[in-house]
Amino acid sequence: MIKVRVELRENSYEIRIGQGLLPHVGLWLKKKGFSGKTVIITDSNVRPLYAAALERGLADAGFKVTVFEIPAGEEQKTLTTAGQLYQLLAEAFAERTTLIIALGGGVVGDLAGFVAATYMRGVPLVQVPTSLLAMVDSSFGGKTAIDYGSLKNMVGAFYQPKLVVADVDTLKTLPKIELANGMGEVIKHAVIRDKGFFNFLRKNMAGAMAYDTKTLKKIVEKNARIKAPVVATDEKESGLRTLLNYGHTVGHAVEALSDFQIKHGQAVAIGMMAAAKLAQRLGFLAEKKVKQMEELILAAGLPVNLPDLDQIEKETLLELIKHDKKVRDGKIRFVLIKAIGNAFISDKITPELIGEVLFDGKHT
Ligand code: NAD
């Protein structure tokens, strides 16, 4: 088993990565001093596959376990579902010390995290991610949220888990499109921070997309090692952590404009390519590197260009970009790369420039 520590003073915690880990979570939590009631929050796809192994280990370690299941899907990341979970927690007489365990993808993790952060002003949280995206991104770093109307992640809290357990065996049942979705963030981490990892991905993407467990384990570990120190340096996203938004300024706008028909990882992939082309235009990135990025993104089954231009209206897209959460004093804080592995924030990028690379030679 691999352990990566997220250093946040009294809020520090470990990410444990490996195979066959679910049955051990109970004992680990007992050793950490937890006892009594625990509530597993999971979704309708993940529960039948993985809840029993986790539950058994918790029961063997002396925990009283209750399982709350929500239907799978982003539509559940709402205040209404959070309200239903508060109600169930109250009915189960959950206390300040009751552990909430999020077992599932990023939707379960964000929602259960938000509920844990707010129920009784905060109960302990453990993340057990089962999607690649959740393992490499959403399960650690402390961002929890729900969507509000059409506004994604609009209401939330920074709330760190006590432990994260990524059992890569669970990825075997993850649909291919979800594997690709997570790979968007994986490629992003490599592109902004780690040239060696970028080259590793170029060699091993085919294996990873064929569910090779050893490769996936390496990928999850490497991502934790890249993101953990960034989060530790900048817990609440005032500086360094902004780099993690590489590809996201354009990505969020594409995602919103498609009414979330385009998945996050796909939208980020399109955004990463746009950012790479901008870096090339500004003389930072050689054409060869842009090409390598394109090949890697395609190998992960992700798009490199905007889809069906009939649906994507240039002005609307650029307007959405202007209103991104990351815009400050009217200036886009755009993440660019100087080279593979070396990202920085530029305020020189205008919506017009973005439009030029995104709609290069295409009419709208
Ligand atoms: P998801 O939770 O909807 O999971 C994707 C699908 O895969 C779901 O149908 C789920 O039931 C299924 N699934 C998950 N694990 C499985 C497994 N092992 N086997 C079979 N099916 C499985 O989506 P996601 O992509 O994991 O996460 C997306 C969410 O994460 C979004 O809401 C996004 O806003 C959020 N997010 C949060 C952060 C953060 O820092 N908090 C970062 C990135 C994304």
CATH of the domain at 102: 3.40.50.1970
Domain membership of residue 185 (yes or no) is no
Dist. CA 364–CA 335, nearest whole Å: 26
For the record, the structure tokens of 62 come out as 């002396």
For the cut 80, the answer to whether the pLDDT of residue 187 exceeds it is yes
Q: Is 24 considered catalytic here? A: no
- Whether 336 lines ligand 1, by a CB cut-off of 6 Å, is no
Is residue 183, in this structure, part of any structural domain at all? Answer: no
- Kindly state whether residues 107 and 207 are assigned to the same domain: no
**pLDDT bucket at 332, cuts 50 / 70 / 90:** confident
Q: How far is the CA of 43 from the centre of ligand 1 (A)?
A: 10
Report CA(238)–ligand 1 centroid distance (Å). 25
Same domain, 154 and 200: no
- Cα(74) to ligand 1 centroid in Å equals 8
Long-range contact pairs involving 295-299 (C-beta distance under 8 Å, separation at least 24): 295/202, 296/187, 296/198, 296/201, 296/202, 296/205, 297/184, 297/187, 297/269, 297/272, 297/273, 299/202, 299/205, 299/206, 299/209
Q: For residues 209 and 306, state if they share a domain.
A: yes
User: Measured from the CB, is residue 97 less than 6 Å from ligand 1?
Assistant: no
Q: What is the pLDDT of residue 214?
A: 97
Q: Which domain holds residue 22?
A: 2-173
Of 110, 138, 173, the last residue of a domain is 173
Q: Are residues 202 and 116 in the same domain?
A: no
**Residue 363 included in any domain:** no
Residue closest via CA to ligand 1's atom 44 equals: 138
- Give yes or no: residues 270 and 212 share one domain: yes
Is the domain of 6 the same as that of 151?
yes
Strand order in 64-70's β-sheet? Answer: 2-6, 13-18, 163-167, 125-129, 99-104, 37-43, 64-70
Residues 228 and 155 in one domain: no
pLDDT bin (cut points 50, 70, 90) of residue 60 is very high
pLDDT of residue 315: 83
For residue 272, the domain's CATH number is 1.20.1090.10
Q: Considering 55, 178, 221, 237, which one is annotated as catalytic?
A: 237
**Same-domain pairing of 121 and 256:** no
Q: For the residues 31-56, what does the mean pLDDT come to?
A: 97
Per the domain annotation, does 181 fall within a domain?
no
Claim to verify: residue 273 and residue 335 sit in the same structural domain: yes
Is any ligand 1 atom within 6 A of the Cβ of residue 173?
yes
Whether residues 204 and 134 share a domain: the answer is no
Domain total in the chain = 2
Is 143 designated active site?
yes
pLDDT per residue over 157-179, tens digit each? Answer: 999 999 999 999 999 999 999 99
pLDDT confidence bin for 311, thresholds 50/70/90: low
State percent of the chain over pLDDT 70.
Answer: 96
> Does 16 share its domain with 89?
yes
Q: Band the pLDDT of 289: cuts 50, 70, 90.
A: very high
Residue 151 and residue 198 in one domain: no
Q: How confident is the model at residue 10 (pLDDT cuts 50, 70, 90)?
A: very high
Which one of 122, 139, 173 terminates a domain?
173
In short, whether 165's Cβ falls inside 6 Å of ligand 1 is no
Give the residue from 114, 140, 173 where a domain finishes: 173
Average pLDDT over residues 75-94: 96
Pocket of ligand 1 contains residue 113 by CB under 6 Å: no
pLDDT at residue 294 greater than cutoff 90:
yes
The verdict on whether 248 is a catalytic residue reads: yes
248-257 and 351-358 helices, crossing angle to 10°? 70
